[in-house]
Structure 1
Amino acid sequence: MSKFEPNLLIHEKSPYLLQHAHNPVRWYPWGPKAFKKARAEDKPVFLSIGYASCHWCHVMEEESFEDHEVAELLNKHFISIKVDREERPDIDSVYMSVCQAMTGSGGWPMSVFMTPDQKPFFAATYLPKTSRYQLTGLMDLLPRISLLWKQDRERLLKIGNEITDQLNTNRRPSENVSLSEDVPAQALAELKASFDKVNGGFGTAPKFPTPAVLLFLIHQYKLCGDKDSLFMAKHTLLCMYRGGIFDHIGGGFSRYSTDDRWLVPHFEKMLYDNALLLEAYGEAYACCKNSLFPEIVDAAVSYVLEELSHPDGGFYCSQDADSEGEEGKYYTFTQDEILHVLGEEKGSLFCRRYDITDRGNFEGKNIPNLLNHSVLPDDPEDLQEMKEALYLYRKKRTSLSTDKKILTSWNCLMISALTKASRIFGRKTFLYAAQKAESFLDKHLRKNDGRLFLRWCGEEAAYDGQLEDYAFYSLAMLSLYRSTFLEEYLKKAVQAADLMISLFFDREHGGFFLYSSESEALILRPKELYDGALPSGNSAALHVLSILSEITGRSIYRDCMDQTFSYFSADLSVHPSAYCYALTVLSSQFHPSRQLVITAKKESLPEEFLELLSRRQMTDLTVLVKTERNKDMLAAIAPFTKEYPVLPDKISCYLCRGRACQAPVFDAESLEALLKEAD
């Protein structure tokens, strides 16, 4: 079970970590009680930040935190706090900045020593129990820090004040830079320079899927017709599928590849990676119609629904890389195992297809892959039966640990991905799964006033939603609205966006803070634009603002978007390829957009209209449907719609492009012709 599973280890109503045989350290949850206790006992604070699927978090847990000698030192001289970075990204972000400033790098597990006022004076990542090579061990470090706290405290307090002041100074707004089409063009040039023409992806090992980059490239092709952009995205998506980062037995993608060929993954599977890659494969398919992409998407969705789904519809965080203490044991096979499960004839065919040999391709065992085929072989008729047999075999052979936290932001990414995939691939079951997940969020993670919780676990919702929760939630609701045209989704999207602005937007300088004005204040209140494994909250917020400014016509969304771009303009100009998700919005600003308003007497559109709007995947098109029932609600959200009449006997379609509007048309065939004409 996950070492950072909150409801098993830390309970909010308990003063410290629930004690059990394997965890002698007295852990406290982050909060006023812990820091009050540190002041009362005159002790420094030891903060450990990790996450459920982190290999080195597990190593440090077993090596040090389950050790009674280490526990004795921590319990005697420190107040120890453990934080799951997925539950408290605000704390993680602040102290990651600290770690990077103090050491030049960062990562997990993160170890920070601080004053009871939360000011850090020492930071590191993994610390072994005892010193070895150039790594200082906890058994040496803890007594030294305790002694300094008692004998030279002023020095530690000075360090804490200086690093806090430095980080706050560094976050002051930079001078605004004028943003032009040159910025996306520069990002594209940077990506072309680092593109691996043979293996796909960017740079060298380790290789990450970087879905935000792939989505930017596809978007550039759609906007500008840049064929190199589409090739880079398509080639990377195909290479990842052929490699071991894709699970050819059970579907879904692992976290990243340790080599440059995508063969050997770090075997953990994350919900957000699979959500974003679903979107990338779907968007690429809409452009190039590669026949493999629907198969890849179906397999990935099947994995998520089978392995990461709560019975009531929410999605779990991740599955671990380790089985029985061995990384990849669950996913790898010997040749004899394949022959035993499938029989000699079918097993030999499977082994030839998926590079299964007696020697192995990973530590004497085999990761199934298709990298050795210059041309992919045709599927045998019974290939799916072979995969199902091996899937059942490996589930019985060993098990995986699943982190069963349900995070609002990650769930919203999967809702968006499923909804878009349902439109692109015509899979109604995907839309049903997305709607079921939305119902779960509505029941467990959304308050009556629209405010969001960050996570749900063990029948308990906890922590105030942060920027990415509101931004991704609004995008998920907009995606659901685009597929169903149910006004409840549009209403929720607008409510979340308005809360996002009121709780997170910096009205003085622009940009969105990571955590809410109503949340606990930390030593920093950061704003982030950098798109890592996940798009940043500010990048996602820009998408929300761009869409809603087009849908509603309300100036507040356009103004907040402009101010956010202005605040981050210097960062975007210096290294634009680090902000690809934001650049998809920026690049759209230099091209005319299209708005379609459809009015209809009945509550739902006829199937031919729904089919057309699903099939016509256009980057620059927003759609509103006005009916007799929703006209008042729509008028409040999008005041300009008051002028569009709902006719009793026909469906009316009004298309505008840029600042010019066309005469209305009244049937699906004429609407399709109008959309083609505007392409």
Structure 2
Amino acid sequence: MSNHLDGSVSRYLLQHADNPVDWYPWGDEALARARTEDKPIFLSIGYAACHWCHVMAHESFEDPDTATTMNAHYVCIKVDREERPDLDSVYMAAVVALTGQGGWPLSVFLTPDLQPFYGGTYFPPEPRQGMPGFPQLLHTLADAWRNRRADITRAGAQVVAQLVSQSTSGTAEGTFDVGTLTTAVHDLVEHYDWDSGGWGMAPKFPQPMAIEFLLRRHLAGDTTALAPAVHALRAMVRGGMWDVIGGGFARYSTDNSWHVPHFEKMLYDNAQLARAYLHAWQVTSEASFRHVAEETLTFVTREMTTPQGAFLSSLDADSEGAEGRYYVWSLEEIRATLGKDADLFTEAYGVTAGGTWEGTNVLQRSVDNATLAAHHSIVQGDVDALLDNCRTRLLKVRGKRVRPAADDTVLTAWNGLMLASFAEAARALGDQRYLDVAIRNADFLLTALRPDGQLRRTWREGTTGPKAYLDDYASLILGLLELYQTDFNNRWFVAVRLLAEEMLARFTDPAGGFFDTPDRAEQLLIRPKDLQDNAVPSGNALAAEALLTLAALTGHTEWRKLAEKSLDLVTDLVTRYPTGFGRWLCAGDFDLAKEMQVAIVGDPADKRTMELVGEVRMAWRPNLVVAASPTPLPPGVPDLLADRPIVDGQPTAYVCEGFACHQLVTRPEDLREQLR
């Protein structure tokens, strides 16, 4: 028998629609019932690809006895953190305040007036490793609600007071300047793990935003910044967290050496890592970085793109009831598939009869090409081609396995991140296929996710979810800006202007920065304003970057001032915790750099126009913006193009710094010299 989730848009909520727990979605019906019946609320927040969410569901939420207890004593509410990041932000902060740590599944007990009084993450079905058993916890808290109500009310009030204090307290004083960037680089270099790569200890997460920042600072002349960025990228791509057979990255590594991943694949990780590897290739010319970027985008196109051109949210870690089963191999399978090439492949990737993880093999490159060539009496230059052939054959065999479930919810914010990656790859690599993917995605987002002119956060099977949040607006704006600078279709820039005005009207905090939720949104305990970058960039960091880019293209100084006011909010934080503020650091680097704008006027079909555009794209210039258009200029083009005539009937380029322009040029070699 279904509960109250069966009409949900969210894939995650639908996964729980047949639980014996009488789940409600967050909404008036559930909240009114809690008040009417004077019952506490059990709030469970997770997402479709969350492995431990599945474990707790199987152990507890599918258990009839546990469900009976939950239904008798609580109003039970399920929330998809991807659909409602505002609820996740508020109650994650509450659990961190209560326990010192958070994660998913997020399990929070609330009073009927929504004050959190107890919380945690995963709870086992019986006491284990210092954690109470979930049934035991349910009974204990139900008894406290009946007999020690004052204690619960007091605990809830204390948590709310702490949340309100945190949300209204000012950040440390300071001005975001070049010294801020230098201090952050020093900290990232000093705390880098030169043994295994990356930052921190297991579980070890990729840090694409920090890597992007280091690449930027290398281009700015910091001689210490490149080495850790390159080392981290090489470490991650040996395999394990990187899927050497099918491409794409898993969520994180469970060990320090990037070998055994948590196997779920998230759209946002692959969007950011594809871009980091692309930029690293542009900076270093290291071919393996380009290969990883291309393979990641190929994976997304093959396995995470809908027929309509939207990008799926995630692929599950589990298949056939086991984590990672889709991705791991036995020695026998590899020998049966590869035949005479099996010895080369198994040596290259450390495959053993006993396995490298739970009796199976997680592939990770362990022997270099020179050693393989010597051991197998082959030419070293042929090794890569042979291994590529092996991977292709293994991918075909793997394709016959039961695939991990996909969360086919389309999230505007995450699609914006991936849109930017495809758009930038299209122009950096000159690949029309990537541009086609980007255009279809942008068209989908501006139509299906914007019914009646209202941007929405989610879409699934033709139905849209709640109104968009700050990160949806900012991420989509940045994705469209990258696409505009790739194909110069003015439709994208016109849409960006409109979205930016809406974002400013709905999210601006007069005290600086932006709220995560729009004006007139549902009233929660606090109006969240999350500044920290997590696995996805902070909406505030994205908004600051979007406004800086728009200011560079339009000359609107007010937008720049708003962005700089936001940067000042995090000055102290970015130097103390740079891995938690990587996108902010990138935005700050852009703001403080010697800003360069290029305006190109000329027929885009003219070979001479494209030669000028090609000069701009010869290198990664992260602090350069470009606008191009035929004449006469269509309405709504970037202000950078205004009053830039074609000279002598030839396509013409104007290189500007802060809207003060150098001598116009018509020859590619002259443009190349000015760009230097």
Aligned length: 663
Calculate the aligned-residue CA RMSD, in Å.
Answer: 2.5
Aligned-pair CA distance for 1:624: 1.9
Distance 1:529 1:371, change over 3 A: farther
What are structure 1's unaligned runs of at least 5 residues? 1-5
Stretch moving more, 251-260 or 95-104: 251-260
User: Per-residue displacement from partner, 1:266-309 (whole Å, max 9, x unpaired)?
Assistant: 11111111110110011111110001122212211121111111
Aligned-pair CA distance for 1:9: 4.4
1:79 matched to 2:75? The reply is yes
2: CA distance between counterparts of 1:27 and 1:166? 29
Distance 1:360 1:262, change over 3 A: same
1:655 matched to 2:660? The reply is no
Amino acid at match of 2:402: T
Amino acid at match of 2:614: E
2: CA distance between counterparts of 1:661 and 1:260? 50
Aligned-pair CA distance for 1:20: 8.5
User: Per-residue displacement from partner, 1:84-128 (whole Å, max 9, x unpaired)?
Assistant: 111111111100000000111111111111122211111111122
Matches within 5 A, 1:218-257: 218-224=215-221, 226-257=222-253
Stretch moving more, 354-363 or 408-417: 354-363
Distance 1:270 1:13, change over 3 A: closer
Q: Find the partner of 1:446 among 444, 450, 459.
A: 450
Which residue is equivalent to 1:424? 428
Aligned-pair CA distance for 1:143: 2.5
Which residue is equivalent to 1:396? 400
Distance 1:641 1:427, change over 3 A: closer
1: CA distance between counterparts of 2:386 and 2:83? 43
For the 8 Å contact 1:186–1:576, the answer to whether it is kept is no
2: CA distance between counterparts of 1:90 and 1:442? 23
Q: Find the partner of 2:155 among 152, 159, 174.
A: 159
Which residue is equivalent to 1:168? 164
1: CA distance between counterparts of 2:226 and 2:15? 54
1:65 matched to 2:61? The reply is yes
Aligned-pair CA distance for 1:555: 2.1
For the 8 Å contact 1:243–1:371, the answer to whether it is kept is no
Which residue is equivalent to 1:3? none
Amino acid at match of 2:474: A
User: Per-residue displacement from partner, 1:602-650 (whole Å, max 9, x unpaired)?
Assistant: 687733233223324312211122433544323xx63x65433356823
Aligned-pair CA distance for 1:514: 1.2
1: CA distance between counterparts of 2:224 and 2:173? 31
For the 8 Å contact 1:419–1:430, the answer to whether it is kept is yes
Amino acid at match of 2:182: A
For the 8 Å contact 1:601–1:647, the answer to whether it is kept is no
1:463 counterpart SS class: coil
Aligned-pair CA distance for 1:8: 11
Q: Find the partner of 2:415 among 411, 414, 417.
A: 411
Amino acid at match of 1:405: T
2:514 counterpart SS class: coil
Amino acid at match of 1:618: R
2:457 counterpart SS class: strand
For the 8 Å contact 2:216–2:622, the answer to whether it is kept is yes
Distance 1:642 1:499, change over 3 A: same
1: CA distance between counterparts of 2:526 and 2:139? 29
Distance 1:313 1:33, change over 3 A: same
For the 8 Å contact 1:487–1:630, the answer to whether it is kept is no
TM-score normalized with structure 1 length = 0.93
Aligned-pair CA distance for 1:146: 2.3
Q: Find the partner of 1:261 among 257, 263, 272.
A: 257
2: CA distance between counterparts of 1:303 and 1:628? 39
2: CA distance between counterparts of 1:521 and 1:149? 25
User: Per-residue displacement from partner, 1:389-425 (whole Å, max 9, x unpaired)?
Assistant: 2112223233311111111111111110111112222
Matches within 5 A, 1:125-164: 125-164=121-160
Q: Find the partner of 1:25 among 21, 27, 34.
A: 21
Amino acid at match of 1:349: L
For the 8 Å contact 2:604–2:610, the answer to whether it is kept is no
2: CA distance between counterparts of 1:263 and 1:142? 38
1: CA distance between counterparts of 2:220 and 2:129? 53
Matches within 5 A, 1:290-305: 290-305=286-301
Q: Find the partner of 2:500 among 466, 489, 497.
A: 497
Which residue is equivalent to 2:378? none
For the 8 Å contact 1:445–1:455, the answer to whether it is kept is yes
Q: Find the partner of 1:367 among 344, 362, 384.
A: 362
2:359 counterpart SS class: coil
Q: Find the partner of 2:529 among 523, 527, 530.
A: 527
Distance 1:592 1:659, change over 3 A: farther
2: CA distance between counterparts of 1:493 and 1:19? 36
1: CA distance between counterparts of 2:393 and 2:564? 54
1: CA distance between counterparts of 2:218 and 2:361? 37
Q: Find the partner of 1:456 among 450, 456, 459.
A: 459
Identity %, equivalent residues: 37
1: CA distance between counterparts of 2:208 and 2:234? 13
Which residue is equivalent to 1:643? 643
Which residue is equivalent to 2:591? 589
Distance 1:248 1:93, change over 3 A: same
Aligned-pair CA distance for 1:443: 2.4
2: CA distance between counterparts of 1:144 and 1:531? 36
Amino acid at match of 1:458: E
Which residue is equivalent to 2:376? none
Which residue is equivalent to 1:567? 569
Which residue is equivalent to 1:324? 320
What are structure 2's unaligned runs of at least 5 residues? 373-380
Which residue is equivalent to 2:375? none
User: Per-residue displacement from partner, 1:17-54 (whole Å, max 9, x unpaired)?
Assistant: 88999510111010122111211222111100111121
1:201 matched to 2:216? The reply is no
User: Per-residue displacement from partner, 1:351-397 (whole Å, max 9, x unpaired)?
Assistant: 12222122321122212221333868643544433222211222323
Aligned-pair CA distance for 1:479: 0.1
